[in-house]
Amino acid sequence: MPMISVFGSLVGDEEIANVVACMKSQWMGFGKQVDQFEQKYQAKYRLPSFAMVDSGSNALFMAVTLLDLPPASEVIVPSYTWVSCAQAVILAGHKPVFCDVDLRTMNVRAEDIKARVTDKTAAVMVVHYAGLAVDMEPILALGFPVIEDAAHAVDSTYRGQSCGAIGDVGIFSYDAVKNLTVGEGGGITARDPVRIARAKVMRYCGIGKSGFDAAVSSAGGKARWWEYNIQEPFIKMLPTNLAANIGLAQLDRIDALQARRREIWETYQRELAQVPELITPPDAPEGDRHSYFTYCIRVPRRDELAHYLLDNQIYTTLRYHPLHLNPLYGQMDVRLPNCEQLNEDALSIPIHPRMSDDDVTMVITSIRRFFSY
């Protein structure tokens, strides 16, 4: 019996056909399909501006860079998140300062941020954990520039607005297990479209146009189109036509993919509520929309349950090991009790559109059996 994976995406004939067409075109690198994906994605989620890049992690680094913070600034980051959040801040020349999260939602709150503010604080990063929108209004009211990590939150909304488009700069991830996958890829949006115009220059090593685009657009006016001015130093983050073609097919199917995630989520919510030892995750408040990326329970004997499920061909994991507990960042003496509690009792169980009804039943039955229900 194959292992039931904890995360996953679903691709089909549409994605395969787009990939084959791209390969047959003999141009798999950056090109017009990237433009098409950007336009379609921006329209679908009503974003003020949008650029595709090669990964969500690189989008985070670009987002921090776009804020033009004073050198060696502090950026407050929830500890309960993926390592890329901290790495982006460091690579941009700043210091991540870790804060706690709410034990119920696993999201950062304004009060968690305020507890870590110093005179060096220049920005805040929020993470819409599992696809549940952070309560953004009180955080925006703090007055700091806000970076939104919406890697989990493709299709999530906060008070009718797409997550990622609420703060100053927002990012998305399209890696192999995300709600919308292109294999590996990311996106970035900003309230100020000038920032995204700059991002589109930055992602090509700081060069505004390729030689081919310069030649085509010059209409004979530029004799040496291969010459270019580098506008600023930056690493290459170009997405590919290959990835964009997969993304275009995924966008056509995203509503159906999300409907399946929601169906599994609601089944878990109904069935696992009958296991009193478990704390199930919260649903989105009225007026918001969840992405259902991760279904994270809290449970006593978490490690025993995880090993029991693994023995029964069900893979689970902790997302995430709190960053302040990693020696690299030099903040292990900081006490963030909610993050530390989650490190001991949180567990992500399988939820993705590739799961069959039998898979879902097996997960529920196995958890009940562990607790003798």
Query: What's the confidence (pLDDT) of residue 229?
Result: 84
What does the mean pLDDT of the chain come to? 96
Query: What's the confidence (pLDDT) of residue 82?
Result: 98
What's the one-letter identity of residue 133? A
In this prediction, the residues of the chain whose per-residue pLDDT falls under 70 are 210-212, 214-222
For residue 372, the number of C-alpha atoms closer than 13 Å in the C-beta half-sphere is 0
Query: What's the confidence (pLDDT) of residue 215?
Result: 63
Determine the Cα–Cα distance for residues 364 and 178; give it in Å rounded to an integer. Answer: 23
What's the one-letter identity of residue 75? V
> What phi, psi does 260 have (nearest 5°)?
-70, -40
Query: What's the confidence (pLDDT) of residue 216?
Result: 65
Query: What's the confidence (pLDDT) of residue 227?
Result: 82
Query: What's the confidence (pLDDT) of residue 38?
Result: 98
Query: What's the confidence (pLDDT) of residue 156?
Result: 98
| pLDDT tens column, 148-181 | 999 999 999 999 999 999 999 999 999 999 999 9
Q: Which tokens belong to 238?
A: 């170009």
For helices 56-66 and 193-202, the axis angle rounded to 10 degrees is: 120
| pLDDT tens column, 86-111 | 999 999 999 999 999 999 999 999 99
> What phi, psi does 17 have (nearest 5°)?
-60, -40
- What is 255-370's CATH topology? Aspartate Aminotransferase, domain 1 (3.90.1150)
Determine the Cα–Cα distance for residues 322 and 112; give it in Å rounded to an integer. Answer: 15
Q: Which tokens belong to 36?
A: 């098409």
Indicate the class that CATH gives domain 13-251: alpha beta
Q: What is the domain partition of the chain in residue ranges?
A: 13-251, 255-370
CA distance from start to end of the chain: 24
